[in-house]
Structure 1
Amino acid sequence: MAAVLRQDITLGGEVAAWLWHPEGATGAVVLGHGFSAVRDQRIDAYAERFAEAGLAALLFDYRHFGASGGQPRQLLDIKRQLEDWRTAIAYARGLDGIQHVGLFGSSFGGGHALQVAASDPNISAAVAQCPMTDGLQAALRMPPKTAVRVAKVALQDELGSRLGRKPKYIQAVGRPGEVAIMSAPDSQPGFESLTPEGSQWRNAVAARIGLWVGTYRPGRHAASITCPVLIAVCEQDSLVSVDAAAKVADDAPQGELARYPIGHFDIYTGEWFERAVTRQAEFLARHLTATTTP
């Protein structure tokens, strides 16, 4: 199929989104990115490929990030991000001709996709790529000294927010030893490899999220995901638990697992992107293009 034109739209007044809507599409995929990430950091490449496969694709920036509205900036609120997913899903369901809606989430967004799929029985398929399924396991990967420094700033930010103060920010990604949520050796070069010139991504988050990441464990709800779900894991992942993600595929009634012998950021580009997106597009097209029974 020829390239599909991208449209700029706004959902719910604040959520900036890109829409690809091929003529005759009966299935739509809602896409959301990972921790602090925005839509131009290679996740748009997945949306384009899904559109080429005949699916409508709706890719959004979370509120407080990128092109979306919301103050203060760079505030990562898990509850609000899940609300943004549901806002996008509602919009996708209202598109002309759409009968089935699926989800694609990557990294932190992969956890969100699983959380939403577990709570919405009308989702027809979901893909979670290098997903953060267990925040506690992810938090335990942080070096102890870094964890203490992050927690100190996070507590200051949380207390300050309750007093109406401006956020205290920390880096989303940094080099090993720096105060950042992600400081594995491949974190900073990985983000740099995904970020085009002129991107609206900022390497900052309100530090309070450091107190709550460990409590977010969307993989626990895998057994409640009734739709087919494809879990794509990077076996050399430095940021999220591969075992916890693989367990989701085992626990979900219709789970499938794809393993790739690469690191967390390698799946977004080059050969491994091609391998992953080809399987993902086939999976989504298979489950989202069936006609509704009269």
Structure 2
Amino acid sequence: MSREDIAFASGTSQCAAWLYRPEAAEGERRPIVVLAHGLGGVKEQRLDAFAERFTAAGYACLVFDYRHFGASGGEPRQLLDVGLQRADWRAAVAFARTLDGVDLDRVVVWGTSFGGGHSIVTAADDPRIAAAISQCPFTDGLASSLAIPPLTSVKVTVRAIRDLLGARIGREPQRVPTYGAPGSTALMTSPDSVSGMEALSPPGVSLPHDVAARFALQIMREFPGRRIKDIQCPLFLAICERDTVAPAGPTRKYAAQARDADVKLYDAGHFDIYVGDDFERNVADQLDFLRRHVPLS
């Protein structure tokens, strides 16, 4: 396989991406999997592990960073906005359909955590999507908000309001960490958040782990799980039954409304299915799903 650093336009800026290409015969068009991360995540945080497995199985992969994050453009940095990220998904899918050697009718969307909600909405909005994969997905803003301890939620909300008001008069963003120890002021403070997030980053690499605090005011208004019923293509849902970040209960409820879904339940926490044995089980199930629903030929 080969991996190329590329970029594509989204809005007034660009999204940085990795393009993985499998070995293929001249003139052969392969399916492509479009992948993006979750809350504040970037492609270096284990998305390469998934893309390498998919590419080894014969699928092209486009792994991208949202605007304002990672190697992508966009100012201010670390600005997480739901509408902008979903526009990046649409731009990524449109770009994938222009690539040489790609079958434009066999585009698969793959999202994880907060990005899992984006992949659900993207598939619901685009009937040409061939299949969708959503792992440990954010599906219910109310449930995820209630998973945050009340005192932490109050502290984050105060910072979010200050950031929003400051943005209106041109101030630099007030940021909040995406994760922290229990009791800290952060978006994810479950006992496994620090160890789980640190396990995703390459050894010796320091990556930003904060976002503009105003994002916290968007969470409770978002219910991407409600769009599952609108998805026309096959859907793979990887649900972690011990998920303390994106609770499994609402996702299972929404999954029951799907037209055509493979629902896999894992005795795992939110961060477990990126690494180790849980990763191996999860990626094997995803490859089986791809082979059945988006075969190479």
Fold-level similarity (TM above 0.5): yes
SS, match of residue 256 in structure 2 = helix
Q: 1:198 to 1:94 in 2, by over 3 A?
A: farther
Q: Which of 43, 54, 57 is the aligned partner of 1:53?
A: 57
How far apart are 1:126 and its partner, in Å? 0.5
Count of residues in correspondence between the two structures: 288
How far apart are 1:50 and its partner, in Å? 0.6
Measured in 1, the distance between the counterparts of 2:34 and 2:254 equals: 20
How far apart are 1:197 and its partner, in Å? 3.4
Structure of higher RCO (CA pairs closer than 8 Å, 6+ residues apart): 1
Aligned equivalent of 1:152? 158
How far apart are 1:248 and its partner, in Å? 2.9
How far apart are 1:201 and its partner, in Å? 2.7
- Over residues 31-70 of structure 1, what are the superposed CA-to-partner deviations in whole Å (9 max), with x where a residue is unaligned? 0111001101111100111111111100001111111111
Aligned equivalent of 2:32? 28
Measured in 1, the distance between the counterparts of 2:113 and 2:158 equals: 25
- In the alignment, is residue 206 of structure 1 matched against residue 212 of structure 2? yes
- In the alignment, is residue 128 of structure 1 matched against residue 134 of structure 2? yes
- Over residues 147-169 of structure 1, what are the superposed CA-to-partner deviations in whole Å (9 max), with x where a residue is unaligned? 00000000000111111111001
Query: Residues 1-294 of structure 1: matches in 2 within 5 Å?
Result: 4-12=1-9, 14-22=14-22, 23=24, 24-99=28-103, 100-197=106-203, 199=205, 201-289=207-295
How far apart are 1:256 and its partner, in Å? 1.5
Q: Percent identity?
A: 48
Measured in 2, the distance between the counterparts of 1:53 and 1:195 equals: 24
Measured in 2, the distance between the counterparts of 1:136 and 1:93 equals: 35
- Over residues 179-201 of structure 1, what are the superposed CA-to-partner deviations in whole Å (9 max), with x where a residue is unaligned? 10111111111111111135463
Question: Is residue 17–residue 60 contact of structure 1 (8 Å, CA) maintained in 2?
Answer: yes
The one-letter code of the counterpart of 2:167 is S
The one-letter code of the counterpart of 1:105 is G
How far apart are 1:93 and its partner, in Å? 1.0
In the superposition, the TM-score normalised over structure 1's length comes to 0.95
SS, match of residue 265 in structure 2 = strand
Measured in 1, the distance between the counterparts of 2:230 and 2:90 equals: 17
SS, match of residue 31 in structure 1 = strand
Question: Is residue 25–residue 56 contact of structure 1 (8 Å, CA) maintained in 2?
Answer: no
Write out the 4+ residue segments of structure 1 that deviate beyond 4 Å after TM superposition: none
- Over residues 49-96 of structure 1, what are the superposed CA-to-partner deviations in whole Å (9 max), with x where a residue is unaligned? 111111110000111111111100000011110111111101111122
Measured in 2, the distance between the counterparts of 1:86 and 1:199 equals: 30
How far apart are 1:221 and its partner, in Å? 1.1
How far apart are 1:239 and its partner, in Å? 0.4
SS, match of residue 183 in structure 1 = coil
Measured in 2, the distance between the counterparts of 1:149 and 1:245 equals: 27
Question: Is residue 58–residue 296 contact of structure 2 (8 Å, CA) maintained in 1?
Answer: no
Measured in 2, the distance between the counterparts of 1:247 and 1:159 equals: 36
Instruction: Identify unmatched segments of 5+ residues in structure 2.
Output: none
In the superposition, the TM-score normalised over structure 2's length comes to 0.94
Q: 1:43 to 1:244 in 2, by over 3 A?
A: same
The one-letter code of the counterpart of 2:142 is L
The one-letter code of the counterpart of 1:224 is D
Question: Is residue 26–residue 289 contact of structure 1 (8 Å, CA) maintained in 2?
Answer: no
How far apart are 1:14 and its partner, in Å? 1.5
